[in-house]
Amino acid sequence: MTQKKRWYKRFIPFLREVRAEMKKVTWPSRQEVYSTTLVVIFTTIFFGIYLFFMDLIFSWVIKRVESIF
């Protein structure tokens, strides 16, 4: 039966593997991060406003339908 290694004996090789993988990562430039952040912020604001007004419209429609019945 194979005995499982203790966690602290696996920790150093794990950190070496993490370091090797992090060197392979292609990091975005500052400009790319800035522009994609702006896109996310504006998209969030747009859909927040859109959903707010859709909620108002549907609430109004449901109140009108309920008043009929």
The pTM of the whole model exceeds 0.85:
no
The pLDDT of residue 2 is: 57
Residue 5 has pLDDT above 90, yes or no: no
Tell how many helices (H) and how many strands (E) occur in the chain: 2, 0
15-29 pLDDT tens trace: 999 999 999 999 999
The pLDDT of residue 32 is: 97
Please give the Cα distance from 40 to 46 (Å, whole number): 10
DSSP state of 15: H
